[in-house]
Amino acid sequence: MRRIAIAGNWKMYKTQREAKEFFTDFLPLVQNRLETSEDQVLICAPYTNLPFLVSFVAHTPANLAIGAQNVHWADSGAFTGEISAPMLVELGLKFVIIGHSERRQFFGETDATVNQRLKSAQKHGITPILCVGETKQQRDQNQTEACIYAQLEHGLKDIDQNNLIIAYEPIWAIGTGDTCDTDEANRVIGLIRKQLQNPNVTIQYGGSVKPENIDEIMAQPEIDGVLVGGASLEPVSFARIVNYTAIAH
Ligand code: 13P
């Protein structure tokens, strides 16, 4: 069984005050869905919000969880500015995004460091969300498959596929309003699944997901959820995404 996971990635947005305001408005809008579905709903927030948000969701249905946006590979050490898996575990976190394209693009993340971070998350019982995706240039040069296969091959080396989520995020579709055609996202996610030893890994789509396209995305048979940036920052729009219209496959 593939579990659906609807995740928000808040990136570097929201102070604690703003995070509290978000949840005050958001929770009543999704309460019913949380109580009646098996979907995993997740918000990956900046580190400074994590302690407060974890204690906050302790009083909500268990399928609403909080995640982090990165984790270091060492348990501790002289790594200024980094956060380790034991630090996230201490907060009670169960999810972390790893290898987001913004980390790869702006902070020098490589497939090798992504792989090390994935291992550390798993070693400490945290489910990593591995992000993969091609640039516009790679797509235009018919390199989409080659790019993603390389990210998977190196990123997933010696990784337990029973404790893993993958997010396919074409870089050209992130924050641009330019969503990948749902058929194409479905095709690429199907190809990703074929590369895996465990075909039941949850594979999300990310890139300009919004209330207007969520139902169409979730109707695709290979797509097991979404990783949402901009539209997860506003309670009404993220609630509409969480409350997508399910279609039986
Ligand atoms: P947008 O939904 O803003 O395009 O961002 C997608 C993303 O990067 C999620 O991780």
Q: Two tokens at 173? A: 């579709």
**Rounded distance from Cα 101 to ligand 1 centre (Å):** 10
pLDDT at 248: 60
Whether 169 sits among the annotated catalytic residues: the reply is yes
Q: Is residue 156 part of a domain?
A: yes
The answer as to whether 249 is a domain residue is no
Catalytic residue among 109, 134, 169, 222: 169
- Name the pLDDT band for 249 (thresholds 50, 70, 90): low
**Is residue 59 a contact partner of residue 24, using CB atoms and an 8 Å limit?**
no
| Across 7-15, average pLDDT | 98
Going by CA atoms, what residue is nearest to atom 5 of ligand 1? 229
Which pLDDT tens digit goes with each residue over 25-38?
Answer: 999 999 999 999 99
- Ligand 1 center to 78 CA (angstroms): 31
Whether residue 135 is predicted with pLDDT greater than 70 in this model: the reply is yes
Give 215-218's long-range contacts (Cβ < 8 A, gap of 24+). Answer: 215/244, 215/245, 215/247, 216/182, 217/182, 217/185, 217/244, 218/4, 218/244, 218/245, 218/246, 218/247
pLDDT (tens digit per residue) in 221-241: 999 999 999 999 999 999 999
Helix H or strand E segment including 76: none
In a domain, 248, yes or no: no
Helix (H) or strand (E) holding 172: none
Whether the predicted pLDDT of 247 surpasses 80 = no
- List pLDDT tens digits, range 60-93: 999 999 999 999 999 999 999 999 999 999 999 9
Cα pseudo-dihedral 202, 207, 211, 214, rounded to 10: -40
- Mean pLDDT over all residues of the chain? 96
Could you give the number of structural domains in the chain? 1
Residue 191 has pLDDT above 70, yes or no: yes
How far is it, in rounded angstroms, from Cα 231 to Cα 49?
Answer: 19
**Annotation says 249 is catalytic:** no
Instruction: Tell which one of 208, 226, 240 to mutate to probe ligand 1, the residue whose CB is within 8 A of the most ligand atoms.
Output: 208
Query: Residue 141 in 3-state DSSP?
Result: coil
Return the CATH number at 172. Answer: 3.20.20.70
Is 100 inside any structural domain? yes
pTM over 0.85: yes
Residue nearest to atom 2 of ligand 1 (CA): 229
Instruction: Convert the pLDDT of each residue in 111-123 to its tens digit.
Output: 999 999 999 999 9
Q: Which tokens belong to 158?
A: 């010696």
Write out the residue range of the structural domain in which residue 206 sits. 5-242
Are residues 68 and 50 in contact, defined by beta-carbon separation less than 8 angstroms? Answer: yes
Q: Write the DSSP symbol of residue 158.
A: T
pLDDT score, position 246: 76
Residues lining ligand 1, judged by CB closer than 6 Å? 9, 100, 169, 174-175, 206-209, 227-231
Kindly state whether residue 103 falls inside one of the protein's structural domains: yes
Q: Could you give the CA distance from residue 195 to residue 157 in angstroms, rounded to a whole number? A: 12
Instruction: Give the percent of the chain with pLDDT over 90.
Output: 96
Within a domain: 247 = no
Which of 44, 165, 174 to probe ligand 1 with, by most ligand atoms within 8 A of CB? Answer: 174
Give the pLDDT confidence of 39-61 residue by residue, as tens digits: 999 999 999 999 999 999 999 99
Q: Percent of the chain, pLDDT > 70?
A: 99
* Residues 131-143 as b or e (16 or more Cβ within 10 Å = b): bbbbbeebbeeee
Asked if residue 238 is part of any domain, the answer here is yes
